[in-house]
Amino acid sequence: MPDLLAQTLAMPGLWALIGVVFVAGVVYGFAGFGSALVYMPLAASLMPMKVAVAAFAISALSSFFTVVPRAWGQVNRRAVGVMVVCATLSASLGLWVLRVADLTLLRWGVVSVTALTLLALVAGWRYATAPTLAGRSAIGLATGFVGGATGLLGPVMVLFQLAGQEPVATSRATTLVFLTVTSLLLLPLMAFQGLLTLPAVALGLVLLLPYGAGTHLGAYLFRPGLEKFYRTVAYVIILLAVLLGLPVWD
């Protein structure tokens, strides 16, 4: 294990990745979304997608202590429960795609999903009707598949939440708890499919503290009255991550 840790610390680009995961945590803490949108485009350019996805799922465990306790009192628990169950059911299929698909194709998929989500958010797409149980179930299934295949649990869920009519605090809390709980439930599914390798675990543990520190800082900075400012900053950071993560730079 010491040798594995030493190899992880000597990984090319590690310090840049630590900086990225810290920024991803800050974005997640104050905006309630966007951590994987910041992390994955850049991480996928530094390592195999399988390692990037598994390591991030481990680092996200810190969110249970930094953002979930405060968000729990504001969350729509029934909605979260339905979507978590459905996401867990479909994630196995997504993880299978991650395991067998072409790396370059997956990277383009990550960048494309991220960019399309960003465009929809900036355009201000909204729906007026209250979501039904079937609608939330479909969102959970789509989120689990996309998250398993690309590491991006957020896009489908975030677009759904931000396009709705819930109060800002409730929408943010629901998104935070859903993404954090689903990330935890992905770990045994990854282990079952052989994706939770020792290098991924070691990297995830290294990234856990900077990500946790970022989410704690972001949650501390969050003020409901500054929601538009926070979202604007998150959008800019996500755009930079998309541009820097393009496979054409290889």
58 to 37, 102, 190: CA distances (angstroms) = 16, 24, 11
pLDDT tens, position by position, 64-97? 898 888 888 888 888 899 999 999 999 999 999 9
**Residue 124 DSSP class:** T
E strands present in the chain: none
Higher pLDDT, residue 125 or 176: 176
Q: Which string of b and e fits 215-247 if b means at least 16 CB within 10 Å?
A: bbbbbeebeeeebeebbebbbebbbebbeebeb
- In this prediction, residue 212 carries a pLDDT of 95
Task: Name the percent of the chain lying above pLDDT 90.
Answer: 27
Tabulate helix, strand, coil % of the chain (nearest 5).
80, 0, 20
Range with the poorest average pLDDT among 189-198, 208-217, 226-235: 226-235
Find the angle CA(195)-CA(200)-CA(205) to the nearest 5 degrees.
Answer: 135
Q: Does 114 score more than 90 pLDDT?
A: no
Average pLDDT in the chain: 85
Q: Write the CB contacts of 225 (distance below 8 Å, at least 6 apart in sequence).
A: none
> Mean pLDDT over residues 245-249, rounded?
73
Locus of tokens 């990225």: 20
> Mean pLDDT over residues 49-54, rounded?
89
Look up the pTM and report it. Answer: 0.81
Q: Where are the domains of the chain?
A: 2-249
Q: Does 125 score more than 80 pLDDT?
A: no
